[in-house]
Amino acid sequence: MKPQATLFTHQEELQYSQQVAGNPLSIGTGFEALSFKHDQFEGLMDPLVMIDHYTMNSPTFGAHPHAGMSALSILFEDSEGIFNNRDSLGNNIDLLPGDAYWLMAGSGAVHDEKPTKGSRTHGLQIFVNLPQHHKHDAPTSRHVSSQEMPIISGEGYRVRVVIGESNRTQGATSPALPFTALDAFVEGGGAYTHDVNSNQSLVIYTVSGDVNINLGDQEIQLPEQRAMAIQVGSTTQQLRLASPDKAHFVILQGTPIREPFIQKGPFVMSTIDELHQVTAAYEAGLLGAISE
């Protein structure tokens, strides 16, 4: 795979990407996904690198490395059974429906995740970039059980605060840079309003149903299984999301890093030299191993 280089520049105004349809991705007989990549969003997806909306019902990837980024797994509540997560940090955790796991890979870690026999996992796999001065930090992680996640509910809406904060309701803190992930549901006629601080980047993805987005002077309908990115400049904004029927959607929010990076598969580094170095380190076994 050819490395992809990206440079984000500072933008002052409220900006919207095009609406993006993910690319179908199928691996073996047990993994199906819609894949969204940073280069589809006109530079507005920063600090995100990639999102996969997937279902997995059998082991697919095996042990694999990550470096220079964080890998966030969000399991939706309609998952079935157990999603086993192991990594070179010594973790061996059975994730349950609704759980989340954040692996801040930093200088490098080895990871494996798979559904146990008879299980079906439905969720998002999200790559979050790290700024250059954190790409060589020691790896760390956080498991967030669904029971830990605050739920914001009202007439016609229910929102799980997976990571971060919404409207002064604080969820778990990521082990990397500040980040918010909301797993939200609205019924027909219901709406959820989320306050967005200045200098933030948002990605909104509709898991099911159509979503009506109001932000600034824009009114946008985002169809099912489409994503769009929005960057907010120097003014705090109020984001309102509703649905003509009912919808399930995810909001991912972080501060843009605005640094060049090079991605090759699970590695997201600042320069081609760093990419070569971390690849060599992995091949030499220096990123650790998963205990059997």
The CATH number covering residue 188 comes to 2.60.120.10
Whole-angstrom Cα distance, residue 73 to residue 54? Answer: 11
Range of the domain at 243: 11-283
Q: At 12, is the pLDDT very low, low, confident or very high (cuts 50, 70, 90)?
A: low
Task: Indicate the burial class of 138 (C-beta count within 10 angstroms; 0-12, 13-18, 19 or more).
Answer: exposed
In the beta sheet, which residues pair with residue 208? 248
Residue 189: the pLDDT is 85
C-alpha distances in angstroms, 100 versus 125, 147, 181, 188, 224? 10, 11, 10, 28, 23
Q: What is the DSSP track for 213-237?
A: EEETTEEEEE-TTEEEEEEE-SS-E
Q: At 74, is the pLDDT very low, low, confident or very high (cuts 50, 70, 90)?
A: very high
DSSP state of 280: H
CA-based nearest residue to 268, from 105, 142, 125: 105
In a domain, 25, yes or no: yes
Residue 292: the pLDDT is 66
Q: Could you report the per-residue pLDDT of 164-201, keeping only the tens digit for each?
A: 999 999 999 999 999 999 999 999 889 999 999 999 99
In a domain, 201, yes or no: yes
Residue 11: the pLDDT is 45
In a domain, 90, yes or no: yes
Exposure letters 214-235 (e unless 16+ CB within 10 A, then b): ebeeeeeebeeebbbbbbbeee
Residue 3: the pLDDT is 55
Residue 2: the pLDDT is 47
CA-based nearest residue to 51, from 241, 210, 228, 278: 228
Rg (C-alpha) for the chain, rounded Å, is 18
How many helices (H) and strands (E) would you count in the chain? 1, 28
In a domain, 118, yes or no: yes
Residue 8: the pLDDT is 41
Q: At 217, is the pLDDT very low, low, confident or very high (cuts 50, 70, 90)?
A: confident
Q: At 28, is the pLDDT very low, low, confident or very high (cuts 50, 70, 90)?
A: confident
Residue 7: the pLDDT is 41
In a domain, 64, yes or no: yes
**Whether the predicted pLDDT of 216 surpasses 90:** no
Measured in degrees and rounded to the nearest 5, phi and psi for residue 282 equal -65, -45
Mean pLDDT of the chain: 94
Q: Could you report the per-residue pLDDT of 49-72, keeping only the tens digit for each?
A: 999 999 999 988 889 999 999 999
Instruction: Report helix, strand or coil for 39.
Output: helix
Average pLDDT over residues 237-243: 96
Domains contained in the chain, number: 1
Q: At 218, is the pLDDT very low, low, confident or very high (cuts 50, 70, 90)?
A: confident
**Whether the predicted pLDDT of 21 surpasses 50:** yes
In a domain, 146, yes or no: yes
Residue 13: the pLDDT is 75
Measured in degrees and rounded to the nearest 5, phi and psi for residue 109 equal -150, 160
**Whether the predicted pLDDT of 282 surpasses 70:** yes
CB atoms within 10 A of CB 174: 22
**Whether the predicted pLDDT of 240 surpasses 60:** yes
Question: Residue 277: which residues within 8 A CB-CB, separation 6 or more?
Answer: none
Please report, as a single letter, which amino acid is at residue 78: D
Q: At 291, is the pLDDT very low, low, confident or very high (cuts 50, 70, 90)?
A: confident
Q: How many angstroms from the chain centroid is the CA of residue 220? A: 22
In a domain, 288, yes or no: no
In a domain, 104, yes or no: yes
**Whether the predicted pLDDT of 219 surpasses 50:** yes
Average pLDDT over residues 240-253: 96
